[in-house]
Amino acid sequence: MNITRRQMIAGGFACSASTKPSLAETPLEIGWEDLIPPGVPYSEIIAEGELDELNDTWNPIFDANATKLNEALNGALIRMPGFIIPLEISRKGVTDFILVPYVGACIHVPPPPPNQLVLAQTAEPWPDDELWDPVWVVGRMSTRLQSTALAQTGYALRVTSMETYEW
C-alpha cells in the first residue's frame, strides 16, 4: 500500500486534532495551612498589635514567622478555596483582589499574617454580586511579599479560572 504525501499530511493533522491534552498540568489542591512553611507552627504566626485611633484601624505586629513563605509553592499551578476582598472593581466585576482564609478578613478585623494572604489577579472579572461567596481559584502561584492598602501579602496568584465553592 502506497501512502501519498497528501494522505500522510492529512493523517497527521487528523491525529493532532483528535489528540486530547492528556499531558495538561493538573493543579495542586492546597489549603491555607500549606502556605505556612513546613516546621513553622501556626500558633507562632498570630500577631499582637496596636490600635491606630486616628485612622480607626488595628495594626498587627507580626514576628518573622508571619513572613516566612512556603517556597515549594513558587511557580506551582494550584487550586485553593478562599474569600474575596476586592481591590479593583468595575461594572463588570472584580479583577484584582486579596484571597483570604475567612470572610471579612482585612476589612472588619485585623488582617491575617502575610503568609495567609494571596494577592490575586484575573483577566475574567468575578461578578460583584457574588463577593461574599467562597470561591475556588486556580492559577500560577508565586511567593512574593507585597504591600497593598489593606495588608501585606505573601503570595501572588495569576488566576486562570474561578468557581463558587460548593459545601
Residue 78 in any domain: the answer is: yes
The predicted pLDDT at position 47 comes to: 63
pLDDT tens digit sequence for 84-140: 999 988 999 999 999 999 887 876 667 889 999 999 999 999 998 888 899 999 999
Residue 95 in any domain: the answer is: yes
| 93/70 Cα distance (integer angstroms) | 30
The predicted pLDDT at position 19 comes to: 42
Q: Average pLDDT, stretch 59-78? A: 90
If you ran DSSP here, which 8-state letter would residue 37 be given? Answer: P
Q: How confident is the model at residue 150 (pLDDT cuts 50, 70, 90)?
A: confident
In total, how many domains does the chain have?
Answer: 1
Residue 80, judged by CB atoms within 10 A of its CB (0-12, 13-18, 19+), counts as: buried
What global pTM score does this model have?
Answer: 0.78
Residue 92 in any domain: the answer is: yes
CB 164 within 8 A of CB 126: no
Residue 67's identity, in one-letter code, is T
The predicted pLDDT at position 149 comes to: 86
pLDDT above 60 for 151: yes
Residue 76 in any domain: the answer is: yes
The predicted pLDDT at position 158 comes to: 98
The predicted pLDDT at position 18 comes to: 42
Domain hosting 116: range is 27-164
Report the CATH number that the domain containing residue 33 is assigned in CATH. Answer: 2.40.50.870
Least confident of 60-64, 95-99, 106-110, 150-154: 106-110
Name the more confident of 96 and 65. 96
Residue 11 in any domain: the answer is: no
Q: How confident is the model at residue 165 (pLDDT cuts 50, 70, 90)?
A: very high
Residue 136 in any domain: the answer is: yes
pLDDT tens digit sequence for 17-53: 444 444 678 999 999 999 999 988 766 666 677 777 8
Residue 27, C-beta contacts closer than 8 angstroms, at least 6 positions apart: 77, 78, 79, 138
Residue 18 in any domain: the answer is: no
Residue 21 in any domain: the answer is: no
If you ran DSSP here, which 8-state letter would residue 166 be given? Answer: P
